[in-house]
Structure 1
């Protein structure tokens, strides 16, 4: 896929890297990646003076030692010969440093691992999903990477759903995949004031959602696709979507951002944020039209 020619992969020098790197090797051909930047950010690369005094053989700078370690990990994975690889080791705040390098290198995609069994909060991955100036892909620890045969697209039939579905449709055509849409609807809290029961108003809301779906197809000339209309309960929407994805044996969840905004908190929308928080089981791609969050990113870098 020509959308993702340049990718950046975050490494944390834990056991997760040994799991993630072979998966990256497998995904390069699927995504059409031509160049990969492997980046590690340490808060402090300098060695304490007492250590260097007591162990004079430690003459290699810490960044060079880390690069050597990463090179060894990469050597054990069979990356295609046509893939250009560059290793970046930096000192500083992990999030702002990774974002800065993503802009400097003009990457199309950021790839992060998601831990399920291994220790780690995943907080950096969640923050990058919000603020990255490009698309972000999450690869779970326990999942084998393959060409996606079944793609789930949560949607609200808005303009950003249109751009996400365009990309999903292109991916489905290229891979021979099946697209499943998922629309969550809910009953307004004041429904009882209308004199109708909960079930009656739920039926009204579903009909409204299906009408939005038909208008969405007509407005953007999309072909018909299998879309599920599901009444949202009071639970976590993110977990609910993951459960649906596992039930349907989904290979990839594809969700779009909302585009230009001045606030990091709404870059993905509330459901997308909850999905990022909850998902460490299904490969997921947060699709962003490249550069749309740059205005926010530029402001962030000036703080």
Structure 2
């Protein structure tokens, strides 16, 4: 089954600038049986599932990825409990050069209005639930800081961004949002299937951030029967040799402590028991390691807290989350945050 959508792309280039309109029709191929099965499951979830994410902001770049992203967001909106979606596009410069205006007098509408109209056309081509309120924001300025400013103004609960297949240069904005966003960030990848998560990998360090992430995963399991697989990465301290133990012996001790910490974590927060992998940090890039583990265990989503460190010898999740954003462009990924934890930074940006 093929679903078409259109994109109109406006380009300016050169010292004087030239104008180019390009209209592209792209067809997304979707297996009808998988789509029907996923729709039935989504309908069973109901209108209000995750209260964490009432208001969402979706970042757009006017590329073909926008249509892919909209289709995925439309499908997942009920699952996430979204009631309002802000679609945002920020350009560095929305002014048309005078020379362009002289050569193209038929261009009457300001560029921001033209872009907004095109986004609205794209939105109408996707099956967003009627009860969800949709709004388009087109602005000018530094995309990173301006998007964060609007996220604060609109008090959104989750940022949603697309990840393209090409890794080079595509992860800078994504990494920045993972670092600085005042709320959770969901990255939806270009080639991932449009479906409710079947199996989710959750890296844990047993902190309060891990608790919030685990709560989300538990609700996901209860409502959709999604399989949950936890992952804890432990380290062998550099001074292990002073104990008289070998590296292997101390690694076994640390693994035993990690297992006990997991049980304490479950008891403290009254969580349901899910399978947990206990793997030693082999000094591989943490993002690549987690992505590889997810693929090896056939997980099709990754959910993790943005930061947090306990007394357990675990990897700092703040840096791990950033590495994961850089390394993973294959699997959908939710970086779960305490809303407002970066508000000091946002306040500083708002004063600029």
- Which TM-score band applies after superposition, normalised by the shorter structure? over 0.9
1:246 positional shift? 1.1
Change (3 A) 1:107 1:115: same
Contact 2:163 2:170 in 1 (8 A): no
1:13 positional shift? 0.8
Structure 1 stretch displaced more, 5-14 or 66-75: 66-75
Identify the match of residue 226 of structure 2 among 177, 182, 196. 177
Q: Which runs of 5+ in 2 are unaligned?
A: 1-49, 309-315
1:163 positional shift? 2.1
- 1:112-261 pair list within 5 angstroms: 112-117=161-166, 120-258=169-307
Identify the match of residue 273 of structure 1 among 319, 322, 343. 322
Q: Give the whole-Å Cα distance in 2 for the aligned partners of 1:68 and 1:208.
A: 57
Q: Give the whole-Å Cα distance in 2 for the aligned partners of 1:273 and 1:117.
A: 18
Contact 1:257 1:288 in 2 (8 A): yes
Q: Give the whole-Å Cα distance in 1 for the aligned partners of 2:77 and 2:206.
A: 31
Contact 1:16 1:118 in 2 (8 A): no
Contact 2:203 2:304 in 1 (8 A): yes
Q: Give the whole-Å Cα distance in 2 for the aligned partners of 1:159 and 1:2.
A: 19
Q: How many residue pairs are counted as aligned between the two chains? A: 296
1:89 positional shift? 0.4
Contact 2:209 2:306 in 1 (8 A): yes
1:9 positional shift? 0.4
Contact 2:241 2:247 in 1 (8 A): yes
Q: TM-score, normalised by structure 2?
A: 0.80
Structure 1 stretch displaced more, 116-125 or 282-291: 116-125
Q: Give the whole-Å Cα distance in 1 for the aligned partners of 2:272 and 2:103.
A: 69
Q: Give the whole-Å Cα distance in 2 for the aligned partners of 1:95 and 1:75.
A: 27
Root-mean-square deviation (CA), in Å? 1.8
Q: Which residue of 1 aligns with 2:58?
A: 9
1:244 positional shift? 0.9
Change (3 A) 1:119 1:272: closer
Question: Larger relative CO (CA 8 A, sep 6+): 1 or 2?
Answer: 1
Q: Which residue of 2 aligns with 1:37?
A: 86
The 3-state SS of whatever aligns with 1:269 is helix
1:167 positional shift? 2.1
Q: Give the whole-Å Cα distance in 2 for the aligned partners of 1:218 and 1:113.
A: 36
Give a deviation string over 1:187-207, Cα, whole Å, max 9, x none. 223333333222111111111
Q: Which runs of 5+ in 1 are unaligned?
A: 260-266
Contact 2:149 2:349 in 1 (8 A): no
